[in-house]
DNA sequence: CTTATGACTTTCA
DNA sequence: CTGAAAGCCATAA
């Protein structure tokens, strides 16, 4: 399948330990494509609702630890709540949410 | 097959 | 140091 990349991404997402977060580049690297961070983001973008319920998409954030979701269907507020419910501290800024990567980034 | 797009990242001015 | 621009990869049309 050519969509093997997406599947690989999803599989990796499910491997992220609870209470940890990962960056797009990190997932892309694990998926054997260190420069495919954007594709990783897209993989999450096309997730159907049932998929989103079983995949920890909320644990994926950008390199700065900021929730960079621009999609109205994927509220930053929801992501914040999901992360907090897992024990991840999400800090609030005026225009965005962010996580302390040094403390919560998934080390592998 | 060529062009366009995106929940990103890195580099250059 | 801060801001802007290009790069990169997979998928859709």
- Protein residues with Cβ atoms closer than 7 angstroms to any atom of nucleic acid strand B: A 23-25, 37-42, 44-45, 47, 52, 57-58, 60, 62-64, 68-71, 74, 79
A2-6: average pLDDT:
80
| Residue A71 scores a pLDDT above 90 | no
Q: CA–C1' span, A87 to C13, in Å?
A: 42
| Residues A79 and A58 sit within 8 Å (Cβ to Cβ) | yes
Q: CA–C1' span, A30 to C5, in Å?
A: 27
Which residue shows structure tokens 């599989």?
A: A11
Phi, psi of A23 (to 5 degrees): -95, 160
Facing residues of A61 across strands? A23
List the Cα angle A86/A26/A14 in 5-degree steps: 45
Confidence of residue A82 (pLDDT cuts 50, 70, 90): very high
Domain of A38 in residue numbering reads as 2-104
For residues A41-63, one letter each, b for 16 or more C-beta atoms within 10 angstroms of the residue's C-beta and e for the rest, the string is bebbeebeeeebeebbbbbbbbe
Domain total for chain A?
1
Confidence of residue A28 (pLDDT cuts 50, 70, 90): very high
A88-105: average pLDDT:
90
| Residues A39 and A28 sit within 8 Å (Cβ to Cβ) | yes
Q: In whole angstroms, what is the distance from residue A102 CA to residue A99 CA?
A: 9
Kindly report the CATH number assigned to the domain that includes residue A97: 1.10.10.10
The confidence score (pLDDT) of residue A49 equals 86
**Percent of chain A's residues with pLDDT above 70:** 97
- Protein residues with Cβ atoms closer than 7 angstroms to any atom of nucleic acid strand C: A 2-6, 33, 35-39, 42, 46
Q: If you average pLDDT over every residue of chain A, what do you get?
A: 90
Q: CA–C1' span, A58 to C8, in Å?
A: 24
């Amino acid at each position: 399948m050519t969509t093997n990349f997406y599947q690989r991404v999803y599989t990796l997402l499910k491997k992220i330990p609870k209470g940890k977060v990962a960056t797009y580049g990190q997932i892309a690297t694990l998926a054997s494509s260190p420069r495919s961070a954007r594709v990783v983001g897209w993989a999450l973008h096309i997730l159907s609702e049932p998929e989103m319920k079983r995949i920890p998409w909320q644990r994926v954030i950008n390199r700065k630890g900021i929730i960079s979701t621009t999609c109205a269907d994927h509220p930053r507020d929801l992501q914040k709540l999901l992360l907090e419910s897992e024990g991840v501290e999400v800090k609030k800024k005026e225009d965005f949410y962010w996580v302390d990567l040094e403390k919560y980034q998934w080390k592998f």
